[in-house]
Amino acid sequence: MEFLGPILFLLLVVVLVGIALNTTVLGRGMAMPLRQMLKKPSTSQYPEQPRPVTPRFHGRHQLNRYDDGLEKCIGCELCAWACPADAIYVQGANNTLEARWSPGERYAEDYQINYSRCILCGLCIEACPTRALTMTHDYEFSSDTRRGLVYTKDMLLAPAPEGAPDTPHRDKDVRERGHNYYGGKAVSPPGLHGGDHLPATARTMSRASQVLPMAPESEADWGDAPGREED
Amino acid sequence: MGLEENLPSGILLTNLEKFVNYSRSASLWPATFGLACCAIEMMSMGGPRHDAARFGMEVFRASPRQADLMIVAGRVSNKMAPVLRRIYDQMSDPKWVLSMGVCATSGGMFNNYAIVQGVDHVVPVDMYVPGCPPRPEMLLDGILKLHAKIRGETFVEQGSK
């Protein structure tokens, strides 16, 4: 029973140190780094192991394509109009029978984003009517020149999907595929098919068949509604 | 530097150049020059989460004479421009400037009379980091690219700046 003495003494020391660490101001201050030493460091090892960004992170833009390789951008410039920093430049042009870049009449001949102005706010993404413009998770685009921050269309455009040809396509091939791009409402370039503005995809899917007949709009239909004269 | 005229050209000097450049890039002390919201991200870059100490640049110097790199973090107003230039002039050679965020790079969305449209109107800029504000990783990416640039520099280039 002679070993009981040291054990009791050690126990007493541990208890006293524990009380000292928990009750005194100095003790609590000393306990803090002791606790932190046991924790895993929270430093991100950036260049080697970058941390994943959130799913909706606003990174570099991308111009998307349809599955058949046609570009979604129709050159409407709504993104450029929405941009608060005037960072987007769009030059639209007409699709032709020989060279079709996008369904519908127009496509973006030139598309530039100036990342030395862009604040990555995403208003252009909200403005885009065809979801042609979206944002990626790429954020590593520092450059040592201002020119290197101006991204042109070939840098922004997504690569053509597997097996799909790069743009431009021939209008005939696009029609044969028979895709329904905008609910069949995308029209051909004016004057291509006798100016009838039929859908670009299939002649059988005429626009008129999809639109409900309009209610007749004549003076008689209003009847003698009250307040009509005051207007 | 004038060193290359006094020493024989060849293997000694190229290796010296590499050694000096490595030393410069491995302890690039930034000057504190936070001007706006980008400074918050710059502080985050120096903090424990992103830890610029991993690249030997955790000491943000309050005195420009002890700093090698000026991180212009934020929009530079016309009133601030002469101050910025003076601080740049007070920094001892060799010195580099990193323009952080779109406001410092080109004026960003503040295309108006009050903001200098790009800090390169005032001082020579070595690296532009876009973003509004750039996340700390983006800034680290710019800094690492600047490190690579410094390692590839020659003494002649540095002297002619």
Task: Give A223's pLDDT tier (boundaries 50, 70, 90).
Answer: very low
Residues of A in CB contact (< 8 Å) with B are: 41-47, 50-51, 84-86, 114-121, 139-146, 148-149
Chain A environment of B120 (Cβ under 8 Å): 146
**B6-33 mean pLDDT:** 78
Q: What percent of chain A has pLDDT over 70?
A: 78
Task: Give B83's pLDDT tier (boundaries 50, 70, 90).
Answer: very high
Predicted pLDDT of residue B5: 66
Query: Does B4 touch chain A if contact means CB atoms closer than 8 Å?
Result: no
The tens digit of pLDDT for each residue in B91-143 reads: 988 889 999 999 999 988 998 999 999 899 999 999 999 998 999 999 999 99
Q: Is the pLDDT of residue A205 over 70?
A: no
CA B140 vs CA A85, A114, A186, B148: distances in Å: 25, 21, 46, 12
**A169-177 mean pLDDT:** 83
User: Which chain A residue lies closest to B144 (C-alpha atoms)?
Assistant: A47
Query: Of A22-31, B11-20, B59-68, which range is least confident?
Result: B11-20
The tens digit of pLDDT for each residue in A40-86 reads: 888 888 888 888 888 889 999 999 998 888 898 999 999 999 999 99
Q: Is the pLDDT of residue A192 over 80?
A: no
Min CA distance, B63 vs chain A (Å)? Answer: 26
Predicted pLDDT of residue B130: 92
The tens digit of pLDDT for each residue in B21-74 reads: 888 888 899 988 888 899 999 999 988 889 888 898 888 888 899 999 999 998
Min CA distance, A30 vs chain B (Å)? Answer: 20
- The span from the CA of B61 to the CA of B69, in Å, is 10
Q: What is the mean pLDDT of chain A?
A: 79
Predicted pLDDT of residue A197: 47
Pick from A89, A133, A135, A94: nearest CA to A111: A89
Q: Which of B51, B131, B145 sits opposite A43 (nearest CB)?
A: B51
Comparison of pLDDT for B58 and B4, the residue scoring more:
B58
- Contact: A139, B149; criterion CB under 8 Å: no
Contacts of B35 (CB under 8 A, 6+ apart): B72, B73, B74, B75, B76, B80, B104
Listed ranges A127-131, A181-185, B151-155; the one with the highest mean pLDDT: A127-131
Predicted pLDDT of residue A196: 45
Q: Which of B49, B105, B142 sits opposite A44 (nearest CB)?
A: B49
Comparison of pLDDT for B29 and B10, the residue scoring more:
B29
User: Which chain B residue lies closest to A59 (C-alpha atoms)?
Assistant: B131
Indicate which of B49, B58, B119 best probes the interface with A, i.e. most A CBs within 10 Å of its own CB. Answer: B49
The tens digit of pLDDT for each residue in A79-126 reads: 999 999 999 999 999 888 888 898 888 899 999 999 999 999 999 999
Query: Does B36 touch chain A if contact means CB atoms closer than 8 Å?
Result: no
Q: What percent of chain B has pLDDT over 70?
A: 87
Min CA distance, B32 vs chain A (Å)? Answer: 20
User: Which chain B residue lies closest to A50 (C-alpha atoms)?
Assistant: B137
Indicate which of A53, A118, A142, A146 best probes the interface with B, i.e. most B CBs within 10 Å of its own CB. Answer: A142
Chain A environment of B129 (Cβ under 8 Å): 142
Cβ-Cβ contacts under 8 Å between A and B: the total is 90
Chain A environment of B124 (Cβ under 8 Å): none
**B143-151 mean pLDDT:** 90
Task: Give A5's pLDDT tier (boundaries 50, 70, 90).
Answer: confident
**B4-29 mean pLDDT:** 76
Min CA distance, A75 vs chain B (Å)? Answer: 23
The per-residue DSSP string of chain A comes to: -TTHHHHHHHHHHHHHHHHHHHHSHHHHHHHHHHHHHHSPP----TTTSPPPPPTT---SEEE-B-TTS-BS-----HHHHH-TT--EEEEEEE--SS-BSSSSSEEEEEEEEETTT-----HHHHH-TTS-EEE-S-----BSSSGGGEE-HHHHBPPPPTTPPPSPBPHHHHHHHT--SSTT-PBPPTTTTTT---BSS-TTS-SGGGSPPPPP--HHHHTT-TTTTT-
Indicate which of A117, A138, A147 best probes the interface with B, i.e. most B CBs within 10 Å of its own CB. Answer: A117
Q: What percent of chain A has pLDDT over 90?
A: 32
Min CA distance, B146 vs chain A (Å)? Answer: 8
Pick from A131, A110, A130, A135: nearest CA to A120: A135
Q: Is the pLDDT of residue B150 over 80?
A: yes
The tens digit of pLDDT for each residue in A147-169 reads: 999 999 999 999 988 888 888 88
Q: Looking at this predicted complex, what is its ipTM? A: 0.82
Indicate which of B72, B112, B141 best probes the interface with A, i.e. most A CBs within 10 Å of its own CB. Answer: B141
User: Which chain B residue lies closest to A121 (C-alpha atoms)?
Assistant: B132
Min CA distance, A46 vs chain B (Å)? Answer: 7
CA A226 vs CA A215, A222, A231, B110: distances in Å: 21, 10, 10, 53
Predicted pLDDT of residue A202: 44
- Judge residue B96's burial from the number of C-beta atoms within 10 Å of its C-beta, 0-12 exposed, 13-18 middle, 19 or more buried: buried
- Contact: A139, B138; criterion CB under 8 Å: yes
